[in-house]
Amino acid sequence: MPPSSASSNFLSQRLEQEWQATFDAYQDFLQVPPKQRFRHLGQLFKLLCPWMERAVRSVTLRHFILVPTEMAIARLFARVCRRENLPRSQAIFQIWAESSILRDVANPQGALGACSGAAGEPSARLQQRFNRLPYADRALLYLYMVERCSVGEVSNYTGIPHAYACENLGRIWTQVREGLAERDLPSGWRTPEASFEAEK
């Protein structure tokens, strides 16, 4: 068996073992009388938080969308606590969590994806404008601004020629930033016009 395959199998087994421990802890939580469950929420959150963070990270990278991370996790946790049971597989839990996040972002009446999250997260206005962009435009901006890939790396990932990637990044960001204030942009992000010069 190739080393990469053995490593992949080991990681899969480890994830399943960790999920089984989380599943068992949730089963114990369900045995607690409803009026006393609030005492156990802190421990349950500690167990579930890494799985929920993984789901948020996965959905943002797969769909190149912006979500207020802390609020997304809080909403997921509230929904988990109302479930009659957890899925037996961590993969099914991830699918459920991702679909839950996407449903909230797509709901124009909902707050997720349309509210300011914690400090350092993108503003509600920036989230709305970003998430309404076509997928290809979101991918370019997300890889460059959020993941901080170079234009060359963005070009390699997307298959778009370097010059075309530069041109489009500038065009898309000009469209998104119109009327936004400095505080709308998280401090860790970089804007195309501010960093193109450094890459030349």
What is the distance between the alpha carbons of residues 147 and 141, in angstroms, rounded to a whole number?
A: 9
Question: pLDDT tens digit string along 139-177?
Answer: 999 999 888 899 999 989 888 898 888 889 989 988 888
Please tell me the predicted confidence (pLDDT) of residue 34: 83
Please tell me the predicted confidence (pLDDT) of residue 113: 52
Looking at the chain, the whole-number percentage of residues with pLDDT higher than 70 is: 88
What is the distance between the alpha carbons of residues 160 and 141, in angstroms, rounded to a whole number?
A: 13
- What lies within 8 Å, CB to CB, of 194 at 6+ separation is none
pLDDT at 102 over 80: yes
Q: What is the mean pLDDT of the chain?
A: 84
127 pLDDT tier (thresholds 50, 70, 90): confident
Is the pTM value of this prediction over 0.85?
Answer: no
Please tell me the predicted confidence (pLDDT) of residue 1: 47
Please tell me the predicted confidence (pLDDT) of residue 105: 83
